[in-house]
Amino acid sequence: MRHIALLSAASWILLGAAAAQAQTAGQGAQSPTRPQGAAAAAPAEPAAPAADWRITQVAGQGGALAYCVAEARYSNGLALIVARTPRGEVNLAVGIPKAGLTKGTKFPLTVSLDGKIQRRLEGVANEQDLIVVPTGTDSELFDGMRRGNRLSIQGPQDTAVFQLKGTGKALGELRTCSERGAGGKPAGARSAGAQQGQPPGPPPIPDALRMLLVQAGIEQIQLLDLSRLPPEQRPADFAWRVGPVYSGVREIQAPPDATLDKLSEVYLGGLKERCPGPFVANPAATSTVAGIDIRTAEATCDQQGRQITVAMLFYLTKNRLFTVFFNEAGEAEKAQAVKIRDDIAGVVRRLAAAPPPAAEPAKPKG
């Protein structure tokens, strides 16, 4: 089970420069619950929620509900996440900004509630900043989190302690959300703070964008929630995931004298600045289809041994609308990212070349 609301796997464009990889065993073990650079210390008081709990849904194949997610950010800088499937399977997860964990690393963890309920479990670093702790169908633990006051997750080196304020309502909504989806259709989940007008999750993408993706053969997507980022920090207008590939689109109104070559070079320059290691960009030559300038490019960033590739499509319309589609993936999924980019580019070229619809013949005046 993977959680997309944190954007945890989008390590370059969607999250910015990734944290450094974990230290080797000879340099010291990783800490599964402490942000990179923070000193180990026994917490005196549990961290308090910094915002209301949010409930979101994740769709699986065919659009059926895969699982629902409850998430809250905490005053210690961490995020506490609880995911539940329609079958009642529950994963705990802790989001740790800039942790620099090695994906796949496993940690022995002790999870306890108010010192009364205790479980010895195993956490797995699904991403560099996300640890997932599968708990199965442990109803005692789930109900204990709903009614408890203090959750402690103890790792090999340190302990994260969370105040369970608001979990009674949030996890009740989480259970309702997942059980309503047991019939195969997603439920209309809402945020635990919906009465305060908080958005329940990522906004739906526009119909025109959806149709473009469908024509490119991209139908099963998982939307990514950028709403918690300030508008000026959002890397895309809309973002989504297609399997292991993270994609997005950004549109801006270009200055009157800006060419597509110049606009795309500025964009690539921004990626280079955000890459912490060696950077290589390979833009193709610009072509023009029915007055629309189109260009593709690939850029690769070496993040201390991990290759991240972004396959991009740039185009500039007659009315000066500059659009960027990006598709980001690891080295093993590079070909898939390039194919998605090329499929979208093919649709854009085809639509640009299509003749405008014929006007209806004038009706005779009578």
pLDDT tens digits along 72-94: 889 888 889 998 988 888 999 88
DSSP secondary-structure letter at 74? B
Which has the minimum average pLDDT: 27-41, 109-123, 131-145, 312-326?
27-41
Distance CA(175)–CA(281), nearest Å, equals: 46
Name every residue whose Cβ is closer than 8 Å to that of residue 263 and which is 6 or more positions away in sequence. 254, 314, 316, 322
pLDDT at 273 over 80: yes
Distance CA(42)–CA(160), nearest Å, equals: 9
Please give the helix or strand (H or E) that residue 135 lies within, else none: strand 130-136
Is residue 80 within 8 A of residue 16, CB to CB? The reply is no
Distance CA(157)–CA(33), nearest Å, equals: 8
CB-neighbour burial class of residue 227 (10 A; exposed 0-12, middle 13-18, buried 19+): middle
Name every residue whose Cβ is closer than 8 Å to that of residue 285 and which is 6 or more positions away in sequence. 295
Is residue 250 within 8 A of residue 237, CB to CB? The reply is yes
Domains of the chain: 25-196 (2.60.40.1880), 207-353 (3.40.1000.10)
Per-residue pLDDT, 127: 79
Distance CA(313)–CA(292), nearest Å, equals: 13
What pairs with residue 124 in β-bridges? 106, 132
Distance CA(114)–CA(144), nearest Å, equals: 9
pLDDT at 37 over 80: no
Joined tokens for residue 183: 């019939």
Joined tokens for residue 216: 């490119």
How many residues would you count in the chain?
A: 366
What pairs with residue 130 in β-bridges? 95, 127
Higher pLDDT, 208 or 299: 299
Joined tokens for residue 257: 């004298």
Joined tokens for residue 18: 């990734």
Residue 238 one-letter amino acid:
F
Joined tokens for residue 141: 């633990």
Name every residue whose Cβ is closer than 8 Å to that of residue 248 and which is 6 or more positions away in sequence. 13, 14, 224, 235, 236, 237, 238, 239, 240, 325, 326
pLDDT at 219 over 50: yes
Q: Tell me the average pLDDT across 276-299.
A: 94
Is residue 338 within 8 A of residue 313, CB to CB? The reply is no
User: pLDDT band for position 182 (50/70/90)?
Assistant: low
SS3 72: strand
